[in-house]
Amino acid sequence: MTQIPESELILNADGSVYHLHLHPDQIGEIIFTVGDPERVPEVSKYFDRIDFKVAKREFITHTGWMGDRKVSAMSTGMGTDNVEIFMTELDALVNIDLKTRLIKPVHTSLQIVRLGTSGTIHADIPVGSFLASETAIGLDTLMQFYPDLECDQSIAQALRKTLDLKFDPYQAEGSKSLLNQLSSDFSRGLTLTAPGFYAPQGRKLRIPAAITQYLERLESFRFGEKRITNFEMETAGYYAMGELLGHEVLSLNAILANRATGEFDKKAEKTVDLMISAALKLLL
């Protein structure tokens, strides 16, 4: 086996991984992730005990215990580019020996659960509700740089035609075993991961849209019984990296915006808090 060079697996002077600034013993076996660094304490306030708090850039980590399970709450910031760094370095913490720089012979699979916020495109999905992403489609180009995913790509291909895209979107699946632990408080959905908040999610303030009738095309898109339920900016990246690296990943979304009705959740903070406590109860 060849050693991974210092320029590829970069370690800080204290031996921690480059961006997350963590050592292997500083993460839990189940990791709850959020986009917003300020949401990390909103998750860790439910831990019985916090052992570590580490901060680097947008990557904030709180690790502690809930009952007999070691858990982490971590932020990634926004977008799949951050998710790629996050998933790769998190995986390195468990699957690469940082001292020898060799891949460990026995693979460790982590459970990673995103607790995110999202907007829906359908009037019948209310703000304040919770949605688990069964499948996600990435409208970013991250997967152009990685090997082909094994999971079915037919919804992504159909969507490419519907939107007349000049690139291949990618399709990836959430963890079935984590999904099965959820209650009916979480509806199931097909999530569109956008490489931005405005035009890539059909919002226009001053710059006109390049793709005409974008929200209308998405709203009427059907693949058998399936329809696109919601927009956010990370889930497909998590699912794709999770498949490639061999981790169980699930993305849960608090629906804060309804693009069909023009509403934004007036109790957004409360909604996110309710989703966090429901998810921790069901998954731990």
Ligand X SMILES: O=P(O)(O)O[C@H]1O[C@H](CO)[C@@H](O)[C@H]1O
By CB under 6 A, name the binding residues for ligand X. 34-36, 78, 116-117, 197, 232-234
Find the shortest distance in angstroms from Cβ 106 to ligand X: 32
Find the shortest distance in angstroms from Cβ 40 to ligand X: 11
Burial class from Cβ neighbours inside 10 Å (0-12, 13-18, 19+) for residue 94 reads: middle
Instruction: Centre a 10 Å sphere on the Cβ of residue 207 and count the other Cβ atoms it contains.
Output: 9
- Residue 103 binding: pick among ligand URA, ligand X, none (C-beta 5-8 Å cut-off by kind): none
Considering beta carbons, is residue 16 or 129 the nearer one to ligand X? 129
Chain positions 231 to 270 lying near ligand URA, rule: CB under 6 A, are 231-233, 256-257
Considering beta carbons, is residue 44 or 258 the nearer one to ligand URA? 258
Find the shortest distance in angstroms from Cβ 106 to ligand URA: 37
Instruction: Centre a 10 Å sphere on the Cβ of residue 125 and count the other Cβ atoms it contains.
Output: 19
Interface residue with ligand URA, options 80, 82, 118, 187 (CB under 6 A): 118
Cα 160 vs. chain centroid, distance in angstroms? 22
Q: Which amino acid is at 133?
A: S
The terminus-to-terminus CA distance of the chain in angstroms comes to: 37
3-state secondary structure 150-212: CCCCHHHHHHHHHHCCCCCCEEEECCHHHHCCCCCCEEEEEEEECCCCCHHHCCCCCCCCCCC
- Residue 231 binding: pick among ligand X, ligand URA, none (C-beta 5-8 Å cut-off by kind): ligand URA
Considering beta carbons, is residue 114 or 122 the nearer one to ligand X? 114
- Residue 34 binding: pick among ligand URA, ligand X, none (C-beta 5-8 Å cut-off by kind): ligand X
Considering beta carbons, is residue 22 or 34 the nearer one to ligand X? 34
